[in-house]
Amino acid sequence: MDRIIVVTSNIAPYRLCWCEELALFYDVTIVYTKDHDYERDDRWLQKESASCRIIKLKNDKDEYDALCFDVIDVLKKDSEALIIFDGYGPKTNLLGLLYCKLKKRFTYTNVDGYPLGEESSRWKLTIKRFIISHLCTGFFCSSEATKEHLIENGAKSENVHVHNFSSISEDRIISKPLNVKEKQKLRKEMGIETEEPIVISVGAFIPRKRYEDLIQAVLNCRSDCQLYLVGGKPTEEYLRLSQGSDRIHYIDFVLPDQVYRYYRISDLFVLPSQTDVWGLVINEAMAEALPIVSSDNCVAAKSLVDGNGVVYRTGDVGELTKAIDVCLNKEKNRSMAIRSLEIIRGYTIEGMVQRQLPWIRKYFGNKQ
């Protein structure tokens, strides 16, 4: 069986699902550098697989962005495998890309998105353009917007293949939106008694998520809604903003196979991030038939918010407040929920791999 080596920093659940789907067609080895991520709970990361081989590179201090020279040993050992680098930024990936370039070895680089809303210095942009135009050969990327970004930075259009990035399998997409009775039943099972609309956001409680904007917006809404922030311990600022209100609720980290329950009791998903390279929580919320409100610095919103929600200017609490009120209108909320399901059926892990397979097969065909 033809072999694929995926080089990544850590093994996120969605990354493992993608590799295991590839493993239905190829022999897949995952090579990774770290067991921790300062932005995520360690329980979120994966270390075992039933269908993929997993190799941890030498990183004794568990550095966040380690330079693991033994990646070259892994690449040398199997000169016939297709190498897929998960991103071009990590030091170990850059070392691997440089090695493959020197050996004239074709690679794919997997690109989830790009940092909207972040300013980079001229020298960083120059280095980025050099990597994309000279070290990378082929690309798999999340969306047409990401493809345009890569081309603007020196990639050749014919070498960039869009795969509709996702973290969800086909069987995780519900068939239709839950009705009021179904949501109320699930809420009671979870010990949540409110009959008011629920606004939800899911993610680590870190500054770039701008949850303070969302807290203020919900408190200013005309709608009598409740806000559930899922993913950590509230900061002092969050607690200060929500002091005296019974509308703001904080839920600690929830494992991926349980977080869907919180989506299902909710009526609207909001992602207020200052920047998000993609924003997979939007995919996950849409799979549970939620309308979406997103800041315009989340790349996922460019592809996934189309008649199923509102995109607002990052940091504009007034716009965010109005967007929430619009999307909680009962008639609009129902139609947006249906639209979310229509869109997200085109964004699954199975679909990603099916879009990649022709190019992977072409690579192995050219090797014969």
The pLDDT value given to residue 325? 97
d(CA 194, CA 98): 56
Task: Please state, rounded to an integer, the average pLDDT across all residues of the chain.
Answer: 94
The pLDDT value given to residue 38? 62
| Residues 36 and 128 occupy one common structural domain | yes
For residue 216, what are the domain limits? 171-344
d(CA 75, CA 82): 10
| Residues 32 and 153 occupy one common structural domain | yes
The pLDDT value given to residue 362? 95
| Residues 296 and 236 occupy one common structural domain | yes
Average pLDDT of the segment spanning 210-227:
96
Listed in sequence order, the DSSP H helices in the chain are: 13-22, 71-77, 91-102, 122-130, 144-152, 180-189, 211-220, 236-242, 256-264, 280-287, 299-304, 317-327, 330-344, 349-367
Which tokens belong to 336? Answer: 């947006």
| Residues 61 and 79 occupy one common structural domain | yes
Q: Is the pLDDT of residue 265 over 80?
A: yes
| Residues 149 and 282 occupy one common structural domain | no
| Residues 240 and 207 occupy one common structural domain | yes
Average pLDDT of the segment spanning 77-82:
95
Average pLDDT of the segment spanning 289-307:
97
- Between the alpha carbon of residue 232 and those of residues 49, 69, 83, 201, 220, the distances in Å are 27, 35, 36, 11, 23
| Residues 175 and 162 occupy one common structural domain | no
d(CA 11, CA 29): 12
| Residues 252 and 117 occupy one common structural domain | no
Average pLDDT of the segment spanning 54-76:
92
Express each pLDDT in 85-116 by its tens digit: 999 999 999 999 999 999 999 999 999 999 88
| Residues 335 and 362 occupy one common structural domain | no
- Which residue type, as a one-letter code, is found at position 275? T
What is the phi-psi region of residue 264: left when phi exceeds 0, alpha when psi lies from -120 to 50, beta otherwise? Answer: alpha
| Residues 160 and 177 occupy one common structural domain | no
Q: What percent of the chain stands above pLDDT 90?
A: 87
Q: Is the pLDDT of residue 45 over 90?
A: no
Regarding predicted confidence, which is higher, 233 or 64?
A: 233
CATH of the domain at 216: 3.40.50.2000
Q: Mean pLDDT lowest for which of 12-16, 36-40, 112-116?
A: 36-40
Q: Is the pLDDT of residue 229 over 70?
A: yes
- Contact between residue 299 and residue 148 where contact means Cβ atoms under 8 Å apart: no
Average pLDDT of the segment spanning 37-48:
70
The pLDDT value given to residue 42? 65
| Residues 38 and 132 occupy one common structural domain | yes
| Residues 196 and 148 occupy one common structural domain | no
